[in-house]
Structure 1
Amino acid sequence: MRYHFCPKCGGTLSIEKTKDPNKPKCTQCSFTFYQNPAVGVAAIVIKDKKLLMGKRQGSYAGQWCIPCGYVEWDEDVYDAVVREFFEETGLKINISYVYTVLSNFHNPAQHTVGIWFMAEVASGTEEAGDDLEEVEYFSYADMPVLAFPTDRDVIEKLKTEGFIN
């Protein structure tokens, strides 16, 4: 169980009645706290059969990822990926389509569902920002150390389908 206190009244959350660690119930107000995954979004931008990647700072510092971030409350997933990509790369993008959706289990404290979008650069100047310290295009053969196992799955799919070399 990740949380121990009720977000409504501050009472203690317990799984004694529900017997389900994903649905603790407040012992004071009986609120059921559903522990659902957060939604992450990432944009796949390819130039000359190379994939744009970002070198992380903060969590997973020094490792690389497909530029990504979380969907905010009341935010559309398409708006979120455009916002996150701009914050991290300085580039404005146009979304083409959803490429894949995967569950991420690499962080035991936060299960996420990731949505990877195919995108094209519309404008802007390539410059790392937010959670990234560098951005660079990589071929499949030159892929750096990755922060997230699901990015490896996406990259393998991109290679198999001929999007990257």
Structure 2
Amino acid sequence: MSNLLQVRVTGILIEDEHILLVKQSVSAERGWSLPGGRVEQGETLEEAMVREMVEETGLTTKVKKLLYLCDKPDSSPSLLHITFLLERLEGEIRLPSNEFDSNPIGDVVLVPIADLPSYGFTEKFMTIVQHGFPESGSYQGLKVNIGL
């Protein structure tokens, strides 16, 4: 029996009005994404988020706050998408090895929040970030409702 629901965590790290992005094919329109990935069997959400950040960016982080819970039922399998606000504990940004990744990461950068649209993100998402994540800690329905 196939897994009917996949849980994915996404991390938002903001430093000096810049947000951390990874260059990775998301869709035809977007070649950049927020770091994150699938929660593995036996992991807590926080463990998965911390592991994904180290794997994808080289940074050790901690979860500061739950931002949003969203659904993406039109993907296969259906996704439960959980976004966290993160804080850097240590480490320097580096590229991952990508050795086991079918969708490798080509770059890891801190970009100005105001430049998010030029990286393929929606104006809606940029506005949410600029306004300090209104309604954080809540269920937002479909992922598009937060502009992702």
TM-score (norm 1): 0.65
Partner of 1:118: 85
Opposite residue 50 of structure 1, the aligned amino acid is H
Asked if residue 142 in structure 1 is aligned to residue 115 in structure 2, the reply is: yes
Q: Is this contact kept in 2: 1:54–1:128, CA < 8 A?
A: no
Distance 2:124 2:77 in 1: 19
Opposite residue 101 of structure 1, the aligned amino acid is L
Q: Which of the two has greater helix per residue?
A: 2
* Number of matched pairs: 125
Deviation at 1:154, TM superposition (A): 4.5
Residues 15-68 of structure 1: CA deviation (Å, up to 9, x unaligned)? xxxxxxxxxxxxxxxxxx7x63210001111011111111015x6487001101
Partner of 1:14: none
What RMSD in Å do the two structures reach over aligned CA positions? 2.6
TM-score (norm 2): 0.72
Of 38-47 and 109-118, deviating more is: 109-118
Of 153-162 and 128-137, deviating more is: 153-162
Residues 107-151 of structure 1: CA deviation (Å, up to 9, x unaligned)? 6323211111111111112012144210111223312024xx7xx
Asked if residue 67 in structure 1 is aligned to residue 35 in structure 2, the reply is: yes
Q: Name which structure has the greater RCO, CA cutoff 8 Å, separation 6+.
A: 2
The runs of at least 4 aligned residues of structure 1 exceeding 3 Å deviation read: 59-62, 152-156
Deviation at 1:100, TM superposition (A): 1.2
Q: Is this contact kept in 2: 1:44–1:118, CA < 8 A?
A: yes
Partner of 1:47: 15
Q: Where does structure 2 lack aligned partners over 5 or more consecutive residues?
A: 99-103, 135-148
